[in-house]
């Protein structure tokens, strides 16, 4: 009898589902928190000139030293901290979790970024999700502190702002959790370009604190570059697990070039934040919808009871792809998530949504 393929691997892998990405071709794409704007053609030409000089026959700089210096300067990272690059922050989460002792506990709020749980489970670690408070999506501080005490998690992940709820947690709660934890605390600042908040300045006060960022949401999702900031000692250990050439030469050159275009990104992110307010107000003007405040480039909204999937599918019929979170249940029951797109994309989304609600 043939062995089932899953029998070759760890038990938990057989039980998992792969991370599914919807096919977006032909859709107005408002599902993945991408920046909707492309570069003006003169900037694209300058970028192509840089790529022309790039040697694809050579391995990339294993430490991406130039890029590290640029990122240190732009993010005002103090000298006593080190930077670890990942092929997206997803890879950094994987590196962190791979370094932990077998049987370690991981803690994160629920709902939050699904990769924390997904990667913890593939590695056979114990994942503990602590429910946020309903409606406000604020951290449940007493319950979280109890769970920290009970499970002694090796790593706590806190997304700031949180995905998929789009809110910033109370910063003093984050500090309390960091101080109560004997393990590491990773503050995931993937949406920093849209939120006026960071814990980078708190790094020097907490030796178990790490701050993680990515260029994906800023407008560079395609090049896959994330970075983790922490004490030299911690990053030195993690660097042993990182594969030597994880940041390819095209990413290093493109990121270096793109980060020199600060003005361009500043204009784009400012525009996205303004359009976020418009979209939020338009959504909340619809009596059947409740949209939650956002400090990121997307909006979570609640639809009428048991209608989220029907609305999601009807939007697809109209050529608009957003994210259906209702299947995740719990606090996300009846909820959908839309990324802030270009004004004309947001209008298409709203007009389709209005039609769908009228015929519900
Ligand atoms: C999108 C997202 C990431 C992943 O970013 P990549 O750098 O593209 O891998 C990490 N954390 C949160 C909270 C996110 O929403």
CA atoms within 13 A on the CB side of 135: 0
pLDDT of residue 16: 86
Residues 169 and 158: beta-carbon distance below 8 Å: yes
Rounded to a whole number, what is the largest CA-CA distance in the chain?
A: 63
pLDDT at residue 116 is higher than 70: yes
CA atoms within 13 A on the CB side of 324: 18
Q: Is 226 in the pocket of ligand 1 (CB under 6 A)?
A: yes
pLDDT of residue 22: 87
Q: Is 345 in the pocket of ligand 1 (CB under 6 A)?
A: no
The arithmetic mean of pLDDT across residues 16-24, rounded, is 87
Atom number, ligand 1, closest to the C-alpha of residue 226: 7
Q: In what order do the strands lie in the sheet with 290-291?
A: 290-291, 298-302, 335-339, 323-324
Pocket test for ligand 1, best of 163, 195, 222, 299 (most atoms within 8 A of CB): 163
> Model confidence at 268, in pLDDT bands (50, 70, 90)?
very high
pLDDT in tens, 277-334: 999 999 999 999 999 999 999 999 999 999 999 999 999 999 999 999 999 999 999 9
> Model confidence at 1, in pLDDT bands (50, 70, 90)?
low
Compute the mean pLDDT over every residue in the chain, rounded to the nearest whole number: 96
């Amino acid at each position: 009898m043939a062995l089932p393929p899953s029998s070759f691997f760890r038990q938990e892998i057989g039980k998992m589902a792969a991370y599914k990405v919807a096919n977006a071709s032909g859709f107005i794409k408002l599902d993945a928190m991408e920046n909707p704007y492309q570069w003006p053609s003169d900037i694209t030409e300058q970028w192509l000139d840089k790529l022309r000089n790039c040697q694809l026959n050579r391995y990339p700089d294993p430490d991406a030293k130039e890029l590290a210096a640029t990122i240190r300067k732009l993010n005002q990272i103090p000298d006593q901290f080190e930077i670890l690059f990942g092929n997206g922050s997803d890879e950094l989460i994987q590196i962190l979790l791979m370094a932990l002792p077998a049987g370690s506990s991981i803690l994160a709020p629920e709902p939050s970024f699904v990769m924390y749980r997904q990667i913890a489970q593939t590695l056979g670690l114990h994942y503990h999700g602590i429910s946020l408070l309903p409606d406000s999506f604020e951290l449940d501080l007493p319950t979280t502190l109890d769970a920290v005490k009970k499970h002694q998690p090796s790593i706590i992940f806190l997304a700031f702002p949180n995905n998929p709820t789009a809110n910033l947690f109370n910063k003093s709660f984050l500090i309390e959790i960091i101080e109560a934890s004997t393990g590491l605390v990773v503050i995931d600042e993937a949406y920093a370009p849209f939120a006026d908040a960071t814990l980078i300045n708190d790094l020097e006060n907490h030796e178990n604190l790490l701050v993680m960022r990515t260029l994906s949401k800023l407008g560079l999702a395609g090049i896959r570059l994330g970075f983790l900031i922490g004490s030299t000692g911690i990053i030195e250990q993690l660097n042993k697990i990182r594969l030597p050439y994880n940041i390819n030469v095209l990413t290093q050159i493109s990121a270096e070039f793109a980060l020199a275009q600060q003005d361009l990104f500043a204009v784009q992110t400012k525009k996205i934040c303004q359009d976020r307010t418009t979209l939020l107000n338009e959504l909340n003007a619809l009596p059947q919808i409740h949209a939650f405040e956002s400090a990121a480039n997307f909006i979570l909204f609640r639809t009428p009871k048991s209608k989220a999937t029907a609305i999601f599918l009807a939007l697809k019929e109209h050529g608009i792809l957003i994210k259906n979170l209702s299947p995740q249940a719990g606090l996300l029951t009846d909820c959908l998530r839309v990324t802030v797109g270009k004004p004309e994309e947001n209008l298409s989304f709203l007009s389709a949504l209005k039609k769908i609600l009228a015929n519900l």
